[in-house]
Structure 1
Amino acid sequence: MQMSQMLEPVLNDFRKAAEAHRQMRAYARQTLQPGVKLWDWVCDLEERGRMMLGTSGINHSESGLAFPTGVSINNCAAHYTPNPNDQRVLQEGDVVKVDIGTHVNGHIVDSAFTVSFSPMYDAVVRASFEGTWAGIKAAGPDARLVEIGNVIDETISSFEVEIGGKIHKVRPIENLCGHGLGTYMVHCDVSIPIVKNGCDPSIKLEEGKTYAIETFASTGKGKVHDVSDCSHYKMIPGSEARIDQIRNQKAKELLRFIIRNFKTLAWCRRWLDIGGEKQHALALKYLVDNEYVEAYPPLCDREGSIVTQHEHSIYLKPTGKEILSYGPDETVP
């Protein structure tokens, strides 16, 4: 059997996940407006995605959402989604990164875009958009990661934005990056830098693999740090083999729930709540403290800054690339 024939079922999985992603993205662009309660909006969007992919409830083990929908706001770059009892309502001045992941049989499509309701932020939104497309154009079989990072940095750093009468230089976030996409693993293989000289110059992209070209532009320091109230989590690979070592019965039951519904995909406290695991805080803390589950807290630049994000998933063919997540909702610069 030829390699192309072997890969076709996998590519069909990616394309099915990509079509659901495009429809979710289109709905998100239509409905995300100031005044929406983020919990309600995200739950509605995610349920639509599950329906498109034939997912039963929150069980994403065969197909469904690859990670919680990110709605990181203003200086928060990533990993924010509403936790139970979060009452946050979107405001007119907010800049929102909408990060959506879908998968079929563990084959993940990861793509993000930024929504702003004020033309004041157009330049910083454009910076991450053009940075990602510059990275996509530079990507291909045997492309050096350092060269992709260099062109992304040059593109993003060429922007500046006036906010409140003050000129802000736009810069890429040095400790965030693109990444490889693996089966049931949203981050694997390599990290694709978005700053100059951000990695070993010998590392290259490889034919037959899937990558997320992901950039972040900021009016702040260009570096993010963890903040509290974590919502994103993921089981550490291999934890299922250690489940019998758990002495806390509630923690053991929660890990079984996680394995059954998510495998090594990312999930959030909201999904535990929706799935009936409402009293999960202590059991979850046990799993994190004992390294069965890894926490991914929100990542933020300095207070008062604005961060934007843009991302597409690409598959590298022998003669080029397929931009899996591209759709009619955007125009290539």
Structure 2
Amino acid sequence: MTHSTTTGPAIDAKVDARVTGAHDDDDDIDDDEQDATNGDGKKKKKKKAKKKGGSGAKVGQTEPPRVGLSKLFPDGVYPEGELQEYKDDNIWRTTSEEKRAAERAAMEDPSLTYQNIRRAAEVHRQVRAYARKAIRPGMRMMEIADLIEDGTRALVEESGLESGIGFPTGLSLNNCAAHYTPNAGDTIVLQKEDVLKVDIGVHVNGRICDSAFTLTFEPTYNNLLEAVKAATNAGIREAGIDARLGEIGAIIQETMESYEVEVGGKVLPVKSIENLSGHTIVPYMIHGGDRGKSVLLVKNNDQTRMEEGEYYAIETFGSTGRGRVVESGDCSHYAKIYNAPHTPLRLQTAKSLLKTINKHFDTLPFCRRYLDRLGESKYLLALNHLVAQGIVQDYPPLCDQRGAMTAQFEHTILLRPTVKEVISRGNDY
């Protein structure tokens, strides 16, 4: 989920082998023709061993994915992401015993352990692997959202605020870059000519994995996708402990804007969207709370440095348009504001809705579909009242000019004491 810098407060290393959900069924089975000699010299066939069942049986993922990760990883240890060593003045961290001890301490602390975010990332990889195969022109936006979110809920084994969806599934189309997900009654159908951004959030104990990709079904905009993917990877490589945010933005822009797209015989430059950004992530807050940091997508003078232990969503957006977004269209995304002032509410319906938000989302972003799912009805007046009182922040769709096309790629990274871990990296992007 992206952070707009103008619309209010938030919102190449070796890849390790990972479990993709398809496990070989290699339970121990003896050859049923193997002979054994008993004491009287006669041979008898050794009985074929029964397949192991119960907790010893290996479990594979289904299609669509519905098997919870606790069954695929019963030991509770989840795959690491891609590891990138620090460079320059921080190269010493790789072999520092002090920093290794800091990592061991983090893994033993339930509030810090990397297993939470790795579990969320593995859910993300498995759900998106199916989504990338299943999403096709002719599908309704509501159908696509359900496909992704049903899988996410099942694999993360949704349980209140302990595990679940990290934020509403973004399905922004064409000139809309971010913050669109269908509301009830939405009839939009994916077309072959569309460029679809798929932004998925998963959380475990508040640790949010935020990662996104773009799909297109005909080749006109392939270069746009390549530009944005390259820019995201460049930003990830530049990121690290002590890296300055403004310098990362410059690398992102330089990489992005080295690409062009030919549309109808006309060559269009790819532009970094100047008022969108990546961001820090803290527990239960996708945009880093009141001390969040932003990674702009253009060169700037921000001298703020990244720090050890921080989580970042490194996301970039490219456009064939003006490279700037504005709010446009019906709002679907909302989030309770961290440390919002205590405000007496006049509307009883607003008080009731706030209780629902506190119980089910707290400061995690939500959308109108999620309120519908909880049985809330006729809540728009109450929701708008919470926004007006500064208790809830609304996040309308963010769009470039009509006719432009936009693309997005994103990964969550963790600045560990010894190494940078690209938590959400997969074989797909």
With the shorter chain as reference, the TM-score category is over 0.9
In the other structure, the counterpart of 1:25 is 128
1:171 is matched by which residue type in structure 2? K
Aligned equivalents of 2:377, 2:154: Cα separation in 1: 23
Q: How does 1:232-247 map to 2 (within 5 A)?
A: 232-239=333-340, 242=342, 245-247=344-346
In the other structure, the counterpart of 2:267 is 167
Unpaired segments of 5 or more residues in structure 1? Answer: none
More strand by share: 1
From 206, 212, 217, the equivalent of 2:318 is 217
In the other structure, the counterpart of 2:184 is 84
In the other structure, the counterpart of 1:127 is 227
C-alpha deviations, 1:72-107, integer Å up to 9, x for none? 000000000000110111011000000001111111
C-alpha deviations, 1:33-61, integer Å up to 9, x for none? 100011122123101101111114xx4x1
Give the CA deviation at 1:247.
Answer: 2.4
Aligned equivalents of 1:260, 1:43: Cα separation in 2: 22
Aligned equivalents of 1:116, 1:186: Cα separation in 2: 27
Give the CA deviation at 1:26.
Answer: 0.7
Q: How does 1:98-117 map to 2 (within 5 A)?
A: 98-117=198-217
Q: Secondary structure, in 3 states, of the residue corresponding to 1:6?
A: helix
Give the CA deviation at 1:320.
Answer: 2.6
Q: How does 1:40-59 map to 2 (within 5 A)?
A: 40-56=143-159, 59=160
In the other structure, the counterpart of 1:265 is 364
Aligned equivalents of 2:158, 2:418: Cα separation in 1: 35
Aligned equivalents of 1:268, 1:205: Cα separation in 2: 31
Q: Does 1:13 pair with 2:116?
A: yes
Q: Does 1:196 pair with 2:299?
A: yes
Give the CA deviation at 1:280.
Answer: 1.1
1:190 is matched by which residue type in structure 2? K
Q: Secondary structure, in 3 states, of the residue corresponding to 2:411?
A: strand
Aligned equivalents of 1:141, 1:48: Cα separation in 2: 34
Q: Does 1:3 pair with 2:102?
A: yes
In the other structure, the counterpart of 2:347 is 248
Aligned equivalents of 1:281, 1:203: Cα separation in 2: 39
In the other structure, the counterpart of 2:330 is 229
Q: Secondary structure, in 3 states, of the residue corresponding to 1:148?
A: helix
Q: Secondary structure, in 3 states, of the residue corresponding to 1:20?
A: helix
Give the CA deviation at 1:25.
Answer: 1.1
From 264, 276, 286, the equivalent of 2:375 is 276
Contact kept, 8 Å, 2:102 with 2:417, in 1: the verdict is no
After superposition, the CA RMSD in angstroms is 1.4
In the other structure, the counterpart of 1:207 is 308
Give the CA deviation at 1:318.
Answer: 2.6
Contact kept, 8 Å, 1:159 with 1:169, in 2: the verdict is yes
2:120 is matched by which residue type in structure 1? A
Aligned equivalents of 1:143, 1:48: Cα separation in 2: 36
1:231 is matched by which residue type in structure 2? S
Aligned equivalents of 1:142, 1:311: Cα separation in 2: 21
Q: Does 1:322 pair with 2:421?
A: yes
Aligned equivalents of 1:124, 1:44: Cα separation in 2: 26
Give the CA deviation at 1:237.
Answer: 1.6
Aligned equivalents of 1:278, 1:237: Cα separation in 2: 25
Q: Secondary structure, in 3 states, of the residue corresponding to 1:221?
A: coil
Q: Does 1:35 pair with 2:153?
A: no
Identity, % of aligned positions: 50
